[in-house]
């Protein structure tokens, strides 16, 4: 009877140990996630963590993957590139400001926030780090032709930078320091380059132009892998992290999805207006689009039929502002800015906004951190805004089968231990 009681007690203890392990592990993981993301425990979803006022409209914003660093660029006469941290403040100040002499049309930041690339209409491509210094100076300043620069993108590790000029010339550069700075290659699309995108490792580059073309490149060559002719100017392009999927928006009112293996679209969807903005998640599973129709569309890769659409109070960007939509890495959250002065956040499961925030003027640009917890917007009201979104922490789920296997293993070990003990006592006696 005593032996059976021991078996029962050990099995009961096994269940208790598993329960304690799970209970301990969940809060530990939650705590680690919070520390890594530097989440503001006191903030609620949709809360404005800070805003900063410049002296002219904000042209672009970007954010590091974990949301720790934010960059913004502004129009003349402010003509600056800014770097901020995410820390909440009622009197926000930038970590640094780099003043140029022209409109800074676009800025992009590496995944860890260590490097920033920016372009201005004086024809410069600037490459900076996040170190705080006064005066702030770029690592290098590439000045190829003096032609107005429209857009820039940077690989996640900050090693590759692609930029497009208003006349349609594409420049690919790396992060190496040289004097004079030289490009890896250039390509002339023939007409204005509105938008550029680069895969996470910099291997694939997508660009679009005013001559109705979308181009896909491998970083090793200036010869396009392929190009596609749309029915009008192509305003916006985005590429998945692995470079497998490319989405574009054009003046033919179409949203078009491609696989990198072919210039033949996987599908396209016709809207009722120019598509100025497109975005895609890290794996290419979800993509969003919007334009002068004022509707935000969410798609899944498998179908050209939108999962849903939402009508904002005005258009979503224009050909000068192709950064008014952004997706979190997993596609769970969609940020959007409209000329109705509002910043919106959606969950992919519903066309009803989680929240919206009204600024003082048109929204020119938005971006979102990898997990969707931080959203940045830039407005014609000359302000940069940082918002917080609480991300539900899912409990660690041990599959039912694995749970019973774990219990069985602990129980068997316990029984073997008892049997050995009894055998040892029998021999001793």
Give the pLDDT score at 34: 43
Of the chain, the end-to-end C-alpha distance in Å amounts to 20
> Could you write out the three-class secondary structure of 311-334?
ECCCCCCECCECECEEECCCCCEE
2-37 vs 400-428: helix crossing angle, rounded to 10: 140
Overall CATH class of domain 44-388: mainly beta
State the Cα–Cα distance between residues 266 and 27, nearest whole angstrom. 43
Give the pLDDT score at 420: 57
* pLDDT-derived band at 426, boundaries 50, 70, 90: low
Report the mean per-residue pLDDT for the chain: 88
* pLDDT-derived band at 15, boundaries 50, 70, 90: low
Give the pLDDT score at 29: 43
* pLDDT-derived band at 17, boundaries 50, 70, 90: low
Give the pLDDT score at 44: 83
C-alpha pair distances (Å), 357 with each of 313, 350, 376:
13, 18, 12
Instruction: Write out the H or E segment, with its range, that includes residue 417.
Output: helix 400-428
Mean pLDDT within 388-406 = 65
More confident residue, 80 or 396: 80
Model confidence at 32: pLDDT above 90: no
State the Cα–Cα distance between residues 263 and 238, nearest whole angstrom. 15
* pLDDT-derived band at 186, boundaries 50, 70, 90: very high
DSSP one-letter string for 76-117: TTT-EEEEEE----SS---SEEEE-SS-EEEEEE-TTSSEEE
Give the pLDDT score at 6: 56
Query: Nearest-CA neighbor of 237 among 322, 164, 364?
Result: 322
Model confidence at 72: pLDDT above 60: yes
**Predicted TM-score of the model (pTM):** 0.84
pLDDT in tens, 76-100: 999 999 999 999 999 999 999 999 9
More confident residue, 156 or 10: 156
pLDDT in tens, 367-377: 999 999 999 99
Model confidence at 119: pLDDT above 70: yes
What percent of the chain is predicted at pLDDT more than 90?
Answer: 77
| Domain ranges, ordered by start, for the chain | 2-34+398-428, 44-388
pLDDT in tens, 233-284: 999 999 999 999 999 999 999 999 999 999 999 999 999 999 999 999 999 9
Least-confidence region, from 99-113, 288-302, 386-400? 386-400
Give the pLDDT score at 31: 43
pLDDT in tens, 294-350: 999 999 999 999 999 999 999 999 888 889 999 999 999 999 999 999 999 999 999
């Amino acid at each position: 009877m005593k032996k059976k009681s021991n078996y029962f007690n050990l099995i009961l203890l096994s269940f208790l140990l598993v329960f304690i392990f799970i209970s301990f592990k969940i809060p530990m993981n939650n705590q680690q996630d919070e520390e890594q993301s530097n989440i503001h425990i006191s903030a609620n979803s949709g809360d404005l963590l800070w805003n900063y006022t410049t002296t002219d409209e904000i042209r672009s914003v970007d954010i590091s993957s974990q949301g720790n660093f934010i960059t913004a660029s502004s129009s003349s006469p402010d003509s600056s590139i800014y770097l901020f941290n995410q820390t909440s403040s009622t009197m926000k100040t930038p970590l640094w400001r780099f003043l140029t002499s022209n409109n800074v049309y676009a800025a992009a930041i590496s995944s860890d926030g260590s490097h920033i690339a920016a372009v201005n209409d004086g024809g410069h491509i600037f490459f900076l780090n996040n170190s705080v210094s006064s005066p702030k100076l770029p690592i290098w300043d590439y000045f190829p032709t003096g032609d107005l620069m429209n857009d820039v993108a940077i690989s996640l590790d900050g090693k590759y930078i692609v930029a497009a000029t208003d006349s349609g010339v594409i420049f690919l550069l790396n992060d190496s320091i040289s004097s004079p700075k030289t490009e890896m290659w250039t390509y002339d699309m023939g007409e204005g380059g509105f938008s550029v995108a680069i895969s996470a490792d910099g291997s694939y580059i997508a660009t679009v132009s005013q001559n109705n073309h979308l181009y896909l490149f491998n970083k090793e060559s200036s010869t396009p892998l392929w190009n596609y002719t749309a029915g009008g100017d192509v305003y916006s392009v985005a590429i998945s992290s692995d470079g497998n999927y490319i989405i574009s928006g054009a003046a033919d009112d179409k949203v078009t999805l491609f696989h990198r293996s072919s210039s033949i679209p996987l599908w396209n969807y016709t809207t009722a207006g120019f598509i100025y903005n497109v975005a895609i998640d890290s794996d290419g599973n979800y993509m969003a689009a919007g334009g002068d129709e004022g509707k935000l569309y969410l798609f899944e890769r498998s179908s050209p039929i939108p999962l849903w659409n939402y009508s904002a109070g005005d258009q979503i960007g224009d050909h000068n502002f192709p950064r008014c939509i952004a997706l979190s890495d997993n596609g769970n959250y969609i940020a959007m800015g409209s000329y109705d002065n509002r910043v919106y956040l959606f969950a992919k499961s519903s066309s009803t906004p989680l929240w919206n925030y009204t600024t003082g003027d048109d929204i020119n640009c938005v971006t979102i951190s990898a997990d969707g917890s931080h959203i940045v917007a830039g407005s014609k009201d000359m302000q940069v805004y940082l918002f917080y979104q609480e991300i539900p922490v899912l409990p660690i789920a041990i599959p039912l089968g694995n749970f019973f296997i774990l219990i069985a293993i602990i129980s068997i070990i316990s029984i073997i231990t008892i049997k050995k003990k009894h055998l040892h006592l029998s021999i001793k006696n």
